[in-house]
Amino acid sequence: MSKVINLNKFRKQKAKAEREKQAETNRRLHGRTNAERARDALSKQQAKAKLDGARLEHGAEPPDESE
C-alpha cells in the first residue's frame, strides 16, 4: 500500500520554500551593510558640498558683453 500524502502540508511547504528563495534573492539584490550605506551617504554629502561650493550667487549680475 502506498503512503498517504497530505496535500495541504505539501502545498504549504512548497510555498514556504518559494518565499525563502525570494527572500534570499532580495537580500542579495537590496541588502547592504552599514559600512556600505555610510560610505554612500558620505560620498553623497561630499558631492553636494562640492556642488554648493561651485554654485554662483543669484544676486550676481552677468558680465557686460556690450563692449
| Residue 2 phi, psi dihedral angles, 5° rounding | -85, 160
The verdict on pTM exceeding 0.85 is no
Residue 5 DSSP class: -
Residue 17: closest CA among 9, 6, 29: 9
Q: Which amino acid is at 23?
A: A
Residue ranges of domains in the chain: 9-47
> CA 63, CA 18: separation in Å to the nearest integer?
65
Q: Which amino acid is at 30?
A: H
pLDDT > 60? residue 67 = no
Q: pLDDT confidence of 15, banded at 50, 70, 90?
A: very high
Mean pLDDT, residues 1-29: 92
pLDDT in tens, 31-57: 888 898 899 999 999 999 999 888 887
